[in-house]
Amino acid sequence: MKTDHPGFGGVLCGGETGCSAFPPSEKPETAERLKKKSTGNGSMMMVKLYGRGVYVIKGREIIEDTAENAARLKAEARGADLQRAREGTIAYSILKNHNHSGSMERLKLRFDALASHDITFVGIVQTARASGMEKFPIPYVLTNCHNSLCAVGGTINEDDHLFGLSAAKKYGGIYVPPHLAVIHMYMRERMAGCGKMILGSDSHTRYGALGTLAIGEGGGELVKQLLGKTYDVDYPRVVAVRLTGKPRPGVGPQDVALAIIGAVFEKGYVKNSVMEFIGDGIANLSADYRCGIDVMTTETACLSSIWETDGRIREFLEIHGRPEDYRELRPADVAYYDGLVDVDLSAVKPMIALPFHPSNCYEIDTFCDNLEDILHGVEERALKLFGNPEIRGGLTGKIADGRLRVDQGVIAGCAGGTFGNVMAADSVLKGQNIGNGAFSLSVYPASQPVLLELTRNGTLTDLMEAGAVTRTAFCGPCFGAGDVPANGALSIRHTTRNFPNREGSRPGAGQIAYVALMDARSIAATAKNRGFLTSAENCDTDSAIPAYSFDGRPYENRVYDGFGRADPDAALRYGPNIVDWPEIGGLTGDLLLRIVSYITDPVTTTDELIPSGETSSYRSNPLGLAEFTLSRKDPAYVGRAKAVQKAEKARLAGQDPGQVLPELRKVFAGIRSIGGFGSVDPMKTGIGSAIYAVKPGDGSAREQAASCQRVLGGSANIAREYATKRYRSNLINWGMIPFLLDGEPPFQNGSYLFVPRIREKIGSGDCSRIEAYVIGENAEKIELRIAPLTPDERRIIQAGCLINFNRAQAGLKV
């Protein structure tokens, strides 16, 4: 039962916490020192991490799992079976109810509902259709909140939307038209319920505050559910997040979320774990407030989240016409957790997460007191990321008379656009004005029912009179398809992410823009001060928020709900950009890899692997989208990958690959010089490209981060670790091998690696040691490994991709 976690224990938020923006070896000393100061490395303790597992008695008392506490545990447990305490968590009971494996150690989960948006649902439906799907077996919601503006590529965005509607009619789905709701607000309002599980093809699929254990994954995992298969995962660590106290005035959910992210992200404290929120402090938070914290748990790299439920969640579900979906969720009288994040809500102050990660957070007051030092550190990191010396001074030059000038404010999406957040912003801005200077403010309510209520109660009038621009439900500001800032501008946003270029800038064209994450309350306070960064600490923003009245008629009148009413005779509506997946071959016995991108950044995000923003319009065309792969990080990647792919296509056509790529003749000669491989046949050896990255896959669940590599001939990734389970799952579902390499790579960009007997090795299941050879003047033997694979994952990689695997199982032609 013990799960000691060396290196943790009583760490304050920011005390030793880093982030991908400033890895430990590079983080300016001043910025690190100020981060410690910022979050109270003294008398005020916001967040504490426990170094060992803990027992929670009656949901409140914490006893660490130590030998010294054994007698106390026995007494406090009052006869309860401590060995079964792991079963006392909320997460355990929900996972058990959805597990079909017969073993709680190796879970095979089936979900209650699925959700996708218009960047992902076309590919998912096409994949499931190619795999033999005839109808949606569970409710599947297709929302249209990412390509809503239809701004790029002519008809292709609306073509995707109408494809979604035709798929909902043909297969029995639920279709939410553009501008009606962002994906996660619709799921909160209409689908989430206590004890349920929901799987979404968006990384921010989080409905734990409403009692739903939800997971964001790549499209391949949704395809499995549509085919009646399971989501396979080892039983995860469950880490408690105990909330105590009450937020001070001006502190919102984004502030609490950033404090938690700053404490846990770099340490990996909750990576691939379920975060279970407990504690007396929950009762002091509205349902909206809880959802605002919950959606940001994705940025900790956890697997999912779940919260205790109470009367406020009952009220939320009643307001939305679903009282039957409520039940009280609490841990058992004795519950064991693999770790504990202790959060004192009363100690949290307004926060800001600076570029280029939500974990790069400071208290706003501390940041404002040390602008020059901290911003200089961000500029130095930006210089390393983008290589443009003009970056220096771009942020520090915004300091005027000791204050920071901000260019843009945005409150939007699943994190910021809730009723409570917009009302809190209005309480600051009512009767004020944001001025007619460069600063602008945009507010995107998260759904049409929320927008309707804000219209009826006069809030939109207040905001527009103050100079804010109000818009419809749209996720664009979160991923670079809306409100792209000017070159060199700083935008403060209550959205989910501030990764490099995610706001839509193009470094290859000499552009850079900066996004800092803040809560709607402090964004409004900044807007009130005409763009000078301001904390909302002294603003009473939440006590006057009125009760919310939900009117579901926008959904009743516009949403197509065809679940259970599939029409097999209905035709799918295609557009010229909707293209089937190209044919993908299976894994050969031996494999030759050429490294075509070599990335040494501490973390590589999915947005860097396949950019968001305007490129999302091409996500229904696998080969068209693949042209953008790594375009902002490594523009030469596509050309290098295509050169390798051309040689593999020649091999598959029965031609000598060395005629297409002459250097291969020398490479195969080098392979034959290795003892035991003299008979290696180039015509029977798969030739693929690979990327090396230290820690790829942080961020979005979009499977295109992997599929774009695959359709360009990618066969593998090589990494020290993978940032998220979902990215590794995407690689596997597209037939790519997720190799791991310890230590510094003995190869470089352009190197060739020969991996003998790889098909046999993967089939055996023993992948802890895989021999490979760097082919140069002298072949150098190295050791790769693959983390454990499930039997199905092994077969998917051998088949070449999930589509091939599914078709073979269904007896269809591959």
Which tens digits make up the pLDDT trace of 49-95? Answer: 999 999 999 888 899 988 888 888 878 777 667 778 999 999 999 99
Predicted pLDDT of residue 705: 93
Average pLDDT over residues 518-537: 96
| Closest among 369, 347, 370, 350 to 361, alpha carbons compared | 350
Residue 751 pLDDT more than 60?
Answer: yes
Q: What whole-number distance in Å separates Cα of residue 413 and Cα of residue 447?
A: 9
CB-based contact 120:201 (threshold 8 Å):
yes
Q: What whole-number distance in Å separates Cα of residue 463 and Cα of residue 475?
A: 20
Give the residue carrying structure tokens 């800092």.
516
Predicted pLDDT of residue 207: 98
Predicted pLDDT of residue 29: 55
For the CA atoms of 785, 787, 791, 795, what is the dihedral angle to 10 degrees?
-50
Average pLDDT over residues 200-224: 96
For residue range 620-642, what is the model confidence (pLDDT) as tens digits? 999 999 999 999 889 999 999 99
Parts of the chain belonging to CATH 3.40.1060: 11-32+52-94+242-310+332-347
**SS3 breakdown of the chain: % helix, strand, coil, rounded to 5?**
35, 20, 45
Predicted pLDDT of residue 591: 97
Q: What whole-number distance in Å separates Cα of residue 89 and Cα of residue 316?
A: 23
DSSP run (H or E) holding 658: helix 657-660
For residue range 415-431, what is the model confidence (pLDDT) as tens digits? 999 999 999 999 999 99
User: Could you give phi then psi for residue 560, rounded to 5 degrees?
Assistant: -90, 115
Label residue 35 by pLDDT band (50, 70, 90).
Answer: low
Average pLDDT over residues 270-290: 97
Question: What homologous superfamily is domain 590-809 in, according to CATH?
Answer: Aconitase, domain 4 (3.20.19.10)
Q: CB 623: neighbour CB atoms within 10 A?
A: 13
CB-based contact 463:581 (threshold 8 Å):
no
Give the residue carrying structure tokens 């860097």.
608
Cβ-count burial of 310 within 10 angstroms (0-12 exposed, 13-18 middle, 19+ buried)?
Answer: middle
Q: Please report the DSSP string for 43-108 in residue order.
A: S---EEE-SS-EEEETTTEEEE--GGGHHHHHHHHTT--GGGGGGGSHHHHHHHHHB-SS-SSEEE
Question: Would the pTM count as exceeding 0.85?
Answer: yes
E-strand ranges in 426-537 read 440-444, 469-470, 490-494, 514-517
Q: What whole-number distance in Å separates Cα of residue 767 and Cα of residue 765?
A: 6
CB-based contact 141:191 (threshold 8 Å):
yes
Q: What whole-number distance in Å separates Cα of residue 708 and Cα of residue 645?
A: 13
Q: What whole-number distance in Å separates Cα of residue 501 and Cα of residue 612?
A: 9
Residue 594 pLDDT more than 60?
Answer: yes
Beta bridge pairs of residue 233: 107
Q: Note the residue count of the chain.
A: 814
Neighbouring residues of 153: CB distance < 8 A, sequence distance ≥ 6 = 577, 617, 618
Predicted pLDDT of residue 70: 84
For residue range 157-173, what is the model confidence (pLDDT) as tens digits? 999 999 999 999 999 99
Q: What whole-number distance in Å separates Cα of residue 748 and Cα of residue 727?
A: 23
- Cα separations (Å) of 342 from 11, 85, 254? 10, 20, 17
For residue range 218-238, what is the model confidence (pLDDT) as tens digits? 999 999 999 999 999 999 999
| Closest among 46, 56, 519, 52 to 263, alpha carbons compared | 46
Residue 5 pLDDT more than 70?
Answer: no
Give counts: helices (H), strands (E), the chain.
Answer: 29, 35
Residue 565 pLDDT more than 50?
Answer: yes
Predicted pLDDT of residue 18: 31
In terms of CATH architecture, what is 95-234? 2-Layer Sandwich (3.30)
Q: What whole-number distance in Å separates Cα of residue 622 and Cα of residue 30?
A: 45
User: Could you give phi then psi for residue 576, rounded to 5 degrees?
Assistant: -65, -20
Q: What whole-number distance in Å separates Cα of residue 45 and Cα of residue 63?
A: 19
For residue range 333-384, what is the model confidence (pLDDT) as tens digits? 999 999 999 999 999 999 999 999 999 999 999 999 999 999 999 999 998 8
Parts of the chain belonging to CATH 3.20.19.10: 590-809
Beta bridge pairs of residue 775: 752
According to DSSP H, which parts of 719-801 are helical? Answer: 725-733, 758-764, 791-799
Predicted pLDDT of residue 678: 85
Q: What is the mean pLDDT of the chain?
A: 91
For residue range 13-29, what is the model confidence (pLDDT) as tens digits? 333 233 333 343 345 55
DSSP run (H or E) holding 219: helix 219-226
* Fold that domain 11-32+52-94+242-310+332-347 belongs to in CATH: Aconitase; Domain 2 (3.40.1060)
27-31, 118-122, 238-242: which has the minimum mean pLDDT?
27-31
Q: Please report the DSSP string for 259-322 in residue order.
A: HHHHHHTTTTTTTT-EEEEESGGGGGS-HHHHHHHHHGGGGGT-SEEEE---HHHHHHHHHTT-
CB-based contact 142:121 (threshold 8 Å):
yes
Label residue 34 by pLDDT band (50, 70, 90).
Answer: low
Predicted pLDDT of residue 416: 97
Predicted pLDDT of residue 3: 37
Three-state secondary structure call for residue 63: strand
Q: What whole-number distance in Å separates Cα of residue 550 and Cα of residue 119?
A: 28
- Tokens coding 772: 């490979």
Parts of the chain belonging to CATH 3.30.499.10: 95-234
- Tokens coding 618: 């091409």
Label residue 700 by pLDDT band (50, 70, 90).
Answer: confident
Average pLDDT over residues 645-658: 96
Angle formed at CA 51 by CA 48 and CA 52, multiple of 5 degrees: 125
β-strands 231-234, 174-176 pairing: unpaired
Label residue 37 by pLDDT band (50, 70, 90).
Answer: low
Q: What whole-number distance in Å separates Cα of residue 208 and Cα of residue 188?
A: 10
According to DSSP H, which parts of 23-77 are helical? Answer: 29-38, 70-77
For the CA atoms of 637, 640, 643, 645, what is the dihedral angle to 10 degrees?
-50
- Tokens coding 612: 């968001």
